[in-house]
Amino acid sequence: MNRIRLDLSYDGSGFHGWAAQPGLRTVEGVLTEALETVLRAQIKLTVAGRTDAGVHAAAQTAHFDIADDTWRVVPGRSSRTPGAALLTRLTGVLARGQRTRGVGDIVVARAEVTSPEFDARFSAVGRRYRYRIDDRLVPDVFARNRALHTEPLRADRMSQAGARLLGEHDFLSYCKPRAGATTIRTLRRLDVHRPQNGPDTGLLVVDLEADAFCHSMVRSIVGTLIEIGRGRRDPTWAHTRLVERERSAGVIVAPAHGLTLEGVDYPEASRYAEQAELARKVRENPLTPGAAHVDPLACCD
């Protein structure tokens, strides 16, 4: 068997999230069907982080296993490598029926054989997200599908509030908890700024990086910061909510279309197995002595 790593991106506007769901168009469902069409084999995908409905990905990672003899015949009579041949054929299949001719709303940028110890989900050491906000009085029409439009915000207040969330904490107040999964995460970066160049010039962006994110964590944090940026709440509110460790009915979740998974980080190949083992282990919740929890899941926004 060969383990194949896929690096891909997608516009989440037309999807009900990553995870396959009966009767719904999802990234996993569409990509799996395309792979099975090209490879003529059953495919089971493992992804670095399951994004929610409407969330985009600029750099997502997944893997699947396939028999060596099936992989070697992908190029047919051409001189291309199996990975290059798969990319070309996938691009065509994924573009069928799309409004933009020749380009689908999923694009696979790389497909190559990787170490059998590589795990797209558990070998990852970090995930990076960006939330885009267009708070100009006259919004950019071309940003409407990837940025939330709102009234002008105070970035300094948002930045002040976000700084109190950095580090390892129980983010229960900002997560939708799942049975058997910890809500403890290490938030390594939370940066609120206005880019001075590049495609996001003119927008207000929130960059977040962590070992992993639990369900709804990024959008709940951003929703809280937006309320603070509007002046409706004091900057201390973000930290107050954190230490409450309670998912209250008043939680504010920012809309999905402003969020993009910007990248997934992995260690050097020699540490794939070690990192995967660490991520799977049960560890003790340091905030609740004696309470065992599953180590952080490679989850979602």
pTM over 0.85: yes
In this structure, which amino acid lies at residue 52? D
Q: What is the pLDDT of residues 64-106, one digit of tens each?
A: 999 999 999 999 989 999 999 999 999 999 998 777 777 889 9
Q: How many residues does the chain have?
A: 301
Q: Burial, 61: exposed, middle or buried (Cβ in 10 Å; 0-12, 13-18, 19+)?
A: buried
156-183: average pLDDT: 91
Residue 292: which pLDDT band, with cuts at 50, 70 and 90? very low
CATH of domain 126-270+281-294: 3.30.70.660
- The residues, ordered by sequence, that sit 6+ positions from 62 with a Cβ below 8 Å of its Cβ are 5, 6, 8, 31, 45, 46, 47, 48, 120
Residue 200: left if φ>0, alpha if ψ -120 to 50, beta else—which one? alpha
CB atoms within 10 A of CB 295: 17
Q: Do domains 2-114 and 126-270+281-294 have the same CATH topology?
A: yes
Choices 3.30.70.580, 1.10.760.10, 3.40.1010.10, 3.40.640.10: CATH for 2-114: 3.30.70.580
Which amino acids are annotated catalytic?
A: 52
- Is residue 286 over pLDDT 90? no
Report pLDDT for 300. Answer: 53
pLDDT at 229: 97
Q: Is the pLDDT of residue 159 over 70?
A: yes
Q: Is the pLDDT of residue 49 over 80?
A: yes
pLDDT band at residue 301 under the 50/70/90 scheme: low
For the chain, what are the domain ranges? 2-114, 126-270+281-294
Q: What are the tens digits of pLDDT across the range 9-32?
A: 999 999 999 999 999 999 999 999
Backbone dihedral angles phi then psi of residue 185, each to the nearest 5 degrees:
-140, 160
Q: Which of these ranges, 106-120, 157-171, 188-202, 242-256, has the smallest mean pLDDT?
A: 242-256
Instruction: Tell me the average pLDDT of the chain.
Output: 90
Short-list 91, 111, 110, CA closest to 102: 91
